[in-house]
Amino acid sequence: MKQIEAYRDKNILVLGLGKSGFAVSKLLLELGAKLTLNDRQDLEQNVHAQELKKLGVRVIGNTHPVNLFDEVQFDYLVKNPGIPYENPMVQKALALKIPVITEPEIALSVSEAPYVCVTGSNGKTTTVMLTQQILEHHLAPKGHHAYAVGNIGVPISEVVAKATKDDLLVVEISSFQLMGVTDINPRVAAIIDIYDNVHLDYHGNFANYVNAKLNVTRTQSEQNYFLANFDQKQIFQQEKAATKAKIITFSETDPSADYFIADGYLRNQKEQIMAVSDMKLPGLHNQQNALVASAIALLMGANVDDIRHVLATFTGAKHRLQYVMTLAGRKIYNDSKSTNIEAASVAIPAFNDPEVLIAGGLDRGFTFDDLVPLLKKHVKAIVLYGETRYLLADAARKAGIKKIIIENTLQEAVPKAYELTEPGDVLLFSPACASWDQFRTFEERGDYFINFVKELKTK
């Protein structure tokens, strides 16, 4: 880890004690900062809060005391990505012109290991896991490692101390994190895709959302690479204007791109990389994820054999079109990461077999008419739950689905959906909605789904 002086003796307010808040606090202490940590939760029984307190951190729970800014002249506010900018502490910091940053800004500034960054509306986690495994396959024989970090669930701050200059970091970075990033320089940055009704409740409008995503490449140098989706022409023009890096394009269909899919192969302008039929992951969107992962890995020194080995064996990230089991001839998939319409739009057409779909969750004020053509083509029956169950039922009726079952909870929905399946069918859980009406996170929701499926096995 690089020893930098940027944060030494600086007064820093860390807002939010989650995984990344705890990890970045410990990192900042190593870098010589003077810390105050604030969280609106009660921290008296919080093990991490008490550990930080013993290390000299001033810990304040139960409230967001704006008057704290009158007591301390803070140099930075380090914000948990999930905390909105409307938060009174953030608003006060911005009014005082205190820089508001997120954990990746700090952690990547001290990384000895080269790093790549992947963002996008959908496919980030799968692409990061594929990239990490390909690079790990390449590095492991030499005694080095590739680490998957960031929004994937492992704070970068936890790993930078052990990752050497011969290792690699593969960083999943969200728009929430990128809002608080002002100076990163990944060897390779990639934006998989950008869709226009994702996280608008956080960003306010689509322009703000795109602007945040572009932070992944804005401060790259001319020596580095930026992977851009050639199929999203309007976004591509904005990306070209924002980056100084060498642009590498990818496309699902256009053979003029640097990386593309044609004649059943993932390929680039030099060679066929791999037959799509040899991949374990289902779905066209996963072919795009594999294409991006292959491009990053090749740019970072891996070879085609590394790519083929991983793509032939990788069965999916947890909660991202994750194969759960085959039960009495029914294949069951957990796609709890489907927290928006776009994610469901790539999961539903991923299979050729008839589908029984479970969907539902938090109502963000959207209709689901965009799903109608896919429901009509792929889904023979649907079971709906949660706040959006009636909105989704309206879309299912428009699609002509005859069997529409409405339940209150996911636990009730799973056995009902299974009853509607026949041998050879796919039972797909792809909610198309955020989890927060009934679950704390999409991970928790997916774990519950898997447990409910296991209960079917015992009946």
Q: What pTM does this model have?
A: 0.81
CA distance 158 to 154: 7
pLDDT of 277 higher than 80? yes
Tokens of 145: 């490692």
Please give the angle made by the CA atoms of 25, 151 and 126, to the nearest 5 degrees: 155
pLDDT of residue 352: 87
Q: In what order do the strands lie in the sheet with 403-406?
A: 322-327, 330-334, 426-429, 355-360, 379-385, 403-406
> Stretch 14-43: mean pLDDT, rounded?
96
CA distance 296 to 405: 43
Distances from the Cα of 375 to the Cαs of 85, 202, 280, 347, 402, in angstroms?
37, 28, 24, 11, 11
pLDDT tens string 85-133: 999 999 999 999 999 999 999 999 999 999 999 999 888 989 999 999 9
Kindly tell me the burial class for residue 444, based on how many C-beta atoms sit within 10 Å of its own C-beta (0-12, 13-18, 19 or more): middle
Range with lowest mean pLDDT among 81-85, 220-224, 299-303:
81-85
Question: What percentage of the chain has pLDDT greater than the value 90?
Answer: 89
pLDDT of 394 higher than 70? yes
pLDDT of 43 higher than 70? yes
> Stretch 144-150: mean pLDDT, rounded?
98
pLDDT of 459 higher than 70? no
pLDDT of residue 182: 92
CA distance 297 to 295: 6
pLDDT tens string 224-239: 999 999 999 999 999 9
Please give the angle made by the CA atoms of 146, 313 and 267, to the nearest 5 degrees: 80
At residue 38 the predicted structure's pLDDT band, cuts being 50, 70 and 90, is very high
Which of residues 458 and 281 earns the better pLDDT score? 281
pLDDT tens string 163-195: 999 999 999 999 999 999 999 999 999 999 998
Which of residues 320 and 65 earns the better pLDDT score? 65
pLDDT of residue 294: 98
CA distance 38 to 234: 41
Q: What is the mean pLDDT of the chain?
A: 95
> Stretch 311-316: mean pLDDT, rounded?
88
pLDDT tens string 320-364: 888 899 999 999 999 999 999 988 998 999 898 999 999 999 998
Enumerate domains of the chain plus CATH numbers: 11-101 (3.40.50.720), 105-311 (3.40.1190.10), 322-458 (3.90.190.20)
pLDDT of 317 higher than 80? no
Whether the Cβ atoms of residue 307 and residue 244 lie closer than 8 Å to each other: no
Instruction: Indicate the residue type of 294.
Output: S
Residue with tokens 């390929």: 267
CA distance 236 to 47: 46
Q: Partners of 101 in the beta sheet?
A: 78
Q: CA neighbours within 13 Å on the CB side: how many for 121?
A: 23
pLDDT of residue 78: 98
pLDDT tens string 200-218: 778 889 999 999 999 999 9
Closest CA to 74 of 30, 37, 23: 37
At residue 153 the predicted structure's pLDDT band, cuts being 50, 70 and 90, is confident
CA distance 441 to 449: 13
CA 431: distance to chain centroid? 16
Whether the Cβ atoms of residue 416 and residue 347 lie closer than 8 Å to each other: no
β-pairing, 322-327 vs 330-334, is antiparallel
pLDDT of 261 higher than 80? yes
| CB environment 11-36: b (16+ within 10 A), e (fewer) | ebbbbbbbebbbbbbbbbbebebbbb
Closest CA to 118 of 198, 184, 167, 25: 184
pLDDT of 286 higher than 80? yes
